[in-house]
Amino acid sequence: MRFAVLGSGSRGNGTLVASNDTYILVDCGFSLRETERRLARLGVSASQLSAILVTHEHADHVHGVGLLSRRYNVPVYLSSGTLRGMRKPVEIAGLLAGGEESRHR
């Protein structure tokens, strides 16, 4: 398993978690173009993403989630509280609540 921080700060946050052919993006606070660029520096295409996991609804964690998810058909996982707090709700693959588990594929 490998981890790579795409960026961390008020301009955007994102971390890639990868294992074999599974690529999970934890938060996507950058624009679509910037996320694609940062992933490419790691040798990963956005089309390879298996899922996006959103930790919370602050803009620097969710700015690019909707567009990235729609453009590349990437499922989004977040808590119901995070979904309620987002300014622009996204289509989601799974809602996570305390103690609950969600499995994809």
Higher pLDDT, 63 or 4: 4
Angle made by CA atoms 90, 94, 100, in degrees to the nearest 5: 140
Residue 61 within any structural domain of the chain:
yes
Q: Provide the pLDDT for residue 4.
A: 98
User: Please, which pLDDT band fits residue 105 given cuts at 50, 70 and 90?
Assistant: very low
What is the pTM assigned to this prediction?
0.85
Give the CATH number of the domain where residue 87 resides. Answer: 3.60.15.10
Number of domains in the chain: 1
What does the pLDDT look like over 42-101, one tens digit per residue?
A: 999 999 999 999 998 888 898 899 899 989 999 988 887 887 777 766 666 555 555 555
Residue 103 within any structural domain of the chain:
no
Average pLDDT over residues 34-41: 98
What does the pLDDT look like over 21-30, one tens digit per residue?
A: 999 999 999 9
Domain hosting 31: range is 2-96
Residue 101 within any structural domain of the chain:
no
Give residue for tokens 């309620």: 84
The token pair at 85 is 């707090």
